[in-house]
Structure 1
Amino acid sequence: MSDLDFPYRFDSLGRTATTARGDHIRDLIEQVLFTAPGERVMRPDFGSGLLALVFEPNSSTLAATTQMLVQGALQQYLSDLIAVQSVQVVNDDSALRVDVSYVVLLDRSTHVESFAVPGSAT
């Protein structure tokens, strides 16, 4: 079975592009992480607020806050699709990297995805 691809686009046949289930779930995680609360009119509470932390000083406090925000948002919005195993936040010099380990509930497969938030202040 295939799901809508993100970002929305048309394929080479002029139809809505689709993607495999695993890629679709990664796309959904990305949408939760990089959508700011209030950005979606019909779901004003949707999102994690992760991008609001881009201009905060890169520190262990920021990493702990980010970990809590990400874990909570993923559990709130995607708990019917995935079970979050862990969220690791790594402070790099110029970016904040978020590693999410999760289990897809449909087939019990384990995945680890990495997302980078560029431009964090140092």
Structure 2
Amino acid sequence: MNIDYPFRFDHRGRTALTDYDEHIRDMIEQFLFTNTGERVNRPDFGSGVLQLVFAPNSPELASTLQFTLQAGLTQWLGDLIEVRKLEVVSLEATIQVEIQYLVRRTQEARTTTLVRRTAS
């Protein structure tokens, strides 16, 4: 079992735990929604995707973002997952990332959609 993200306490007052597949999903979420430089001991960790919520949308930006996110996920989580498809949609103050990936340990294909609304 792994510590659940975001950190919280369970109904017994203990640190909440999660299974392996959910832990992988939690790590993907942490990478996507952490700004580069936000972590003291890992300044290269993070995607900076939240900084692009208000940037003008264009095919070039979408392609660049997809390439950057896929490269970052491969760097930080490549030993755990293989990214199969990644799509980012930004609409007003909301960003949605859909990712299809293969969990290397179980060889199970998974899809997750992560949505984050920026503070107004």
TM-score scaled by length of structure 2: 0.88
Answer yes or no: is the 8 Å Cα contact 2:66–2:88 preserved in 1.
Answer: yes
2:93 is equivalent to residue 101 of structure 1: no
Aligned-pair distance for 1:21? 1.2
> What secondary structure does 2:84 align onto?
strand
- Whether the 8 Å contact between 1:33 and 1:47 is mirrored in structure 2 is yes
Q: Which moved more, 1:29-38 or 1:49-58?
A: 49-58
Aligned length: 118
Runs of 4+ with deviation above 3 angstroms: 90-96
Distance in 1 between residues matched to 2:112 and 2:47, nearest whole Å: 16
8 A contact 2:53–2:93 mirrored in 1: no
CA 1:84–1:11: 2 relative to 1, 3 Å: same
For structure 2, list consecutive stretches of 5 or more residues without a partner in the other structure: none
Cα distance in 1 for partners of 2:115, 2:57 equals: 13
What residue is the counterpart of 2:27 in the other structure?
28
Question: Could you say what the CA RMSD is over the residues aligned between the two structures, in angstroms?
Answer: 1.7
Partners of 1:49 and 1:69 within 8 A in 2 = no
Contact 1:34 1:50 in 2 (8 A): yes
Unaligned runs of 5+ in 1: none
Query: Is the 2:54–2:92 contact (alpha carbons within 8 Å) kept by the matching residues of 1?
Result: no
Shift of 1:11: 1.1
Higher relative contact order (CA 8 A, sep 6+): 1
Alpha carbons 1:100, 1:113 under 8 Å: kept:
yes
Structure-2 residue corresponding to 1:46: 45
Residue 102 of structure 1 aligns to a residue in which SS?
A: strand
